[in-house]
Structure 1
């Protein structure tokens, strides 16, 4: 809807850069620590006589204070952050980016509240509420964009007016969505039996938290060096590069968000408990199981995304203020990067294993390796590619970096844990690739039978037909081969079909 409303030009680039700032700054303040370190520590604290209530209250108190202070500083420093991400001579608007940043940087605090409350729920093996909370955010943002599109006029660029109604509606509405996302978790936390009260002072175990947090902070800093360079490189290309990259990256993450995040969220408490008990065999079993399930589910999806990238971009993003050409370019960016989907999921899983073992140093070192490879390649993009192709090069390099990260992480885990059941995982990978290749062949042949009109409707038909044939063949072959790791998905699908029939 955002692309329909403002296209993929300078306004969207400016908004996207501004709306990226709260995510990055939240990660620097607390995000990486919360998602990687807090859940394992809260699980361990449940062995206390009070089931970890006091420890959790202290952690929440510290977290809320840090988040509030950091948010205030960030809003005041909005122009400085803009200059960091937009180089001089860029085609993005620094003035408009700063105006949006002042409105969306308060998201930092609400992101933090959401992450803190999610950690409390996840540590108690309660996952549903946090999984559904972003839906409330999306509803608010959709309503905001509907109001935005109904309002007359356009956001002005020369000059930029901070009090312009459409600018205020977009900026404040997006921030309100994150606030609602955090707020809907409060009733769930109360129902879980936890009661928050301000508890000052540091638990002795906070020192352990601090040591781990410093390494996680270093990880976030290194990763955000790559993000900053990515944004600056994209800003030097043709207008729309930042917006196209952002939306292609969101589409890239969608399968991982549905499958990978659900897998990690469910495995993390068990993995943390096994690591706390020093049971290396079970930790390896969790790692191997997670890797194999991710493989059989994500490899076919990545393969089909390579085929349907362009029609998917046209079907979703052509319309309103956005041209068919820019929509196709967005789809191309997704297609050239789809091969990195499984490596991305494996990197995320590997990092969680290290954190569960209270090793926050190794993930940071892995990220250093990835960044050292990525940054020089990013700077080559504007030198080797013309302006409209820079975003394609950036997306390709992004996925290549995850391939390197997955390889390095696997080797490091082998050194740390010993035997990783790699032969079984390799077998699953080979069968998945073979089945996916067959699915791609069938999807391409199906696409050749369809007329090429270049319109949104025909593009949507093409996506539906090629997805159904490609995924149907790939997963069908895996099912016929009786790949054990596909069983959880087939059982879940059977239950859903059973409920649909009863309804």
Structure 2
């Protein structure tokens, strides 16, 4: 399986979801604004998603994918891998349901403790969260079926599934555009409905791949015990990351009305390259690294990570710098209007400009962690995450009082780089992954090209200043000029400077042309 091709497939379909997500956020900002009802919904949406990253994308993927991959490529083949999946499902699903029921019971006190809300705002946040929380069960089961499909190198359905959530929420905004409590409730219902649609899609995709899981009685079989031994440290590690997310929510809800909304819209733009590049790379390389490690091919495993790091920096460096430089025009063009004022756009843009500086580090973490997970070492990332969590708490207390939401964004960016540095140092010392000369040389050339791009972006901003102060149409044209101008400078220059593997890209283009001609 080609890494660039796999990443392109996953990233391209993820981009479809992100575009739908942008349409959703653009409409939501105008319908809901930065109101307290919007803040209440974002709290309700953030809670199940935080636990989803704990149980689904974090611990489950780290434990399940390598073990499933080993069985799939072992003597037992697909039959043994399928049996293992059924054993895990039999224990995993009831655990999730029980966890969700417990939280439904304690929802009121939990939301009050986390948000600090009172009165009508607390009542609405609690009500909305009780509607959205079942999404946790649905999307965690989606992770199981996604893990199966990814191990079979079938990335399409899993990469497209998030688009269904965005389309469901977009439909709620279109059909219930009243704003306030009514629209917030419709959005909460759409979240859970989106989870149902995602699970149905993934189960159908597994059926097409010949994988139909049977429901079994929960039993602690040897395979389940092995899974638990791997997944518990990963849960603790992912738990540390999600505690950090809860801490961010804790501070955001206390900064003032609108802070949750400002952070959400800034993070939506920041998540575009994170989702398209970071999630795609992490998903694509974990099965490959696991396969090479299982076969004792340590150099091949390191080579896969090196190629992924090169591709990550090739795409993330320009994305991060472009978001930082162009945050004002981007937020204004996409979100300003209706109930979302110019001041709301300014504060969201400030948050984006700062938080995006941690983007390359965040994506590199997605490249580095498979080096631990593939070796069934989930304890080391736990220790790293715990240290970074403490640093994040300290930075929040130090930076938020003088700088508000900008201080919180700075703490996130700094901790992303700290996490990346620690993970790399550990892998380097163990001899599992080191930055080779070819990789360092290409990254330096990418930095030179990115610096030239930044100069071009500043020139475009100055030349089109009247556009960015005009109507929505003028602002959108200005953004198109920024994006197009930045790409027109960066990618040709990085090609000329040798900042990427030209032969790999040429072969990818040839494959795409052959596929197009055949169609």
What TM-score do the two structures reach when normalised by structure 1? 0.91
Q: Which shifted more, 397-406 or 197-206?
A: 197-206
Deviations 1:377-404 (A, max 9, x none): 112233212xxxx222211211111111
Of 409, 430, 439, which aligns to 2:423? 409
1:444-463 → structure 2 map (5 Å cutoff): 444-452=458-466, 453-463=469-479
Q: 1:71 corresponds to which residue?
A: 100
Q: Note if contact 2:63-2:231 (Cα within 8 Å) is conserved in structure 1.
A: yes
Partner of 2:146: 118
- Aligned counterpart, 1:246: 264
Distance 1:324 1:488, change over 3 A: farther
Closer, same or farther in 2 for the Cα pair 1:456/1:490, shift >3 Å? farther
Q: Do the aligned partners of residues 93 and 296 (structure 1) sit closer, same or farther apart at CA in structure 2, a change above 3 Å counting?
A: same
Distance 2:342 2:306 in 1: 43
Gaps of 5+ in 2: 1-26
Q: Deviations over 1:153-198 (max 9, x none)?
A: 742xxxxxxxxx5443222122111211121112111011112112
Say whether 1:257 aligns with 2:271.
no
Equivalent of 1:87 in 99, 116, 120 = 116
Give the match for residue 224 of structure 1. 242
1:332-353: CA deviation from partner (whole Å, max 9, x where unpaired): 2111222211100011211122
2:30 aligns to what?
A: 4
Number of the residue aligned with 1:55: 84
From 368, 393, 396, the counterpart of 2:407: 393
Correspondence for 2:126: 98
**1:469-488 matched pairs, under 5 angstroms:** 469-485=485-501, 488=504
Find the aligned partners of 1:148 and 1:173 in 2 and give their Cα distance.
Answer: 11
Q: How far did residue 455 of structure 1 move? A: 3.7
SS at match of 2:222: coil
Structure 1 counterpart of 2:155: 127
Given candidates 434, 442, 446, the residue that maps to 1:420 is 434
Of the three residues 282, 288, 298, the one matched with 2:300 is 282
Q: Which residue of 2 aligns with 1:234?
A: 252
More helix by share: 2
Q: Which runs of 5+ in 1 are unaligned?
A: 156-164
Give distance in 2, aligned partners of 1:380 and 1:421: 34
In the superposition, relative to structure 1, how do residues 246 and 492 fare at CA in structure 2: closer, same or farther (>3 Å)? farther
Give how far 1:28 is off.
3.9
Tell me whether 1:192 sits opposite 2:209 in the alignment. yes
Quote the residue 1:159 is aligned against.
none
Residues 310-329 of structure 1 mapped to structure 2, 5 A cutoff:
310-329=328-347
Q: Deviation at 1:478?
A: 0.7
Q: Aligned in 2, Cα 1:499/1:9: closer, same or farther, shift over 3 Å? A: farther
Which region of structure 1 is more displaced relative to structure 2, 203-212 or 4-13? 203-212
1:382 match: 400
- 1:245-270: per-residue Cα shift (whole Å, max 9, x none)? 12212211211211222222222211
CA RMSD, Structure 1 to Structure 2 (Å): 2.3
- 2:9 aligned residue: none
**Rounded Cα–Cα distance in structure 2 between residues aligned with 1:384 and 1:250:** 25
Change in 2 beyond 3 A, CA 1:281/1:229: same
Preserved contact between residue 296 and residue 432 of structure 1 (Cα < 8 Å): yes
Which stretch of structure 1 is more off in the superposition, 182-191 or 456-465?
A: 456-465
User: Displacement of 1:203 after TM fit?
Assistant: 2.7
Give how far 1:417 is off. Answer: 2.2
Report SS of the residue matched to 1:125.
coil
Aligned to 2:67: 41
Between the aligned partners of 1:64 and 1:486, the Cα distance in structure 2 is 46
* Contact preservation (8 Å) 1:280, 1:417: no
Number of residue pairs matched by the alignment: 487
Equivalent residue, structure 2, for 1:352? 370
Query: What secondary structure sits across from 2:176 in the alignment?
Result: helix
Residue-by-residue CA offset, 1:423-447 (whole Å, 9 max, x unaligned)? 3322222111111001110111122
**3-state SS of paired residue (1:484):** coil
8 Å CA contact retained: 1:296, 1:485: no
Q: 1:331 to 1:82 in 2, by over 3 A?
A: same
- SS for the counterpart of 2:212 is coil
* Cα deviation, residue 209, structure 1: 1.5
Q: Does 1:169 align with 2:209?
A: no
- CA contact 2:53–2:242 (8 Å) conserved in 1: no
CA contact (8 A) 1:92 1:239 kept: no
User: Who is 1:158 aligned against?
Assistant: none
